[in-house]
């Protein structure tokens, strides 16, 4: 969904996503020596399910991208 350098901001976005009825986690990663907290939702059973989740977030003003793993 988004990456934050502040864990509190990441937790707040995670809570917003959960309030929209979707799953969400915060994953800590290090890129270029800097710590990032990535807010992710999913995995989803299909690409269609991921797009529906993305649309749910968009209706709440939360931008996101679908990433295939």
The answer to whether residues 65 and 56 touch, using CB atoms and an 8 Å cutoff, is no
pLDDT tens, 14-64?
A: 999 999 889 999 999 999 999 999 999 988 999 999 999 999 999 989 888
Nearest residue to 22 (alpha-carbon basis) of 62, 9, 67? 62
pTM, to two decimals: 0.81
Q: Which residue has the tokens 């901001």?
A: 9
Query: What pLDDT shows up at residue 65?
Result: 84
Query: Which 3 state secondary structure label does DSSP give 38?
Result: strand
């Amino acid at each position: 969904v988004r990456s934050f350098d502040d864990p509190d901001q990441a937790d707040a976005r995670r809570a917003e996503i959960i309030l929209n009825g979707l799953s969400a986690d915060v994953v800590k990663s290090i890129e270029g020596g800097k710590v990032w907290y990535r807010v992710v939702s999913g995995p989803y059973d299909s690409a269609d399910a991921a797009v529906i989740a993305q649309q749910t977030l968009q209706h709440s003003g939360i931008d996101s991208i679908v990433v295939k793993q």
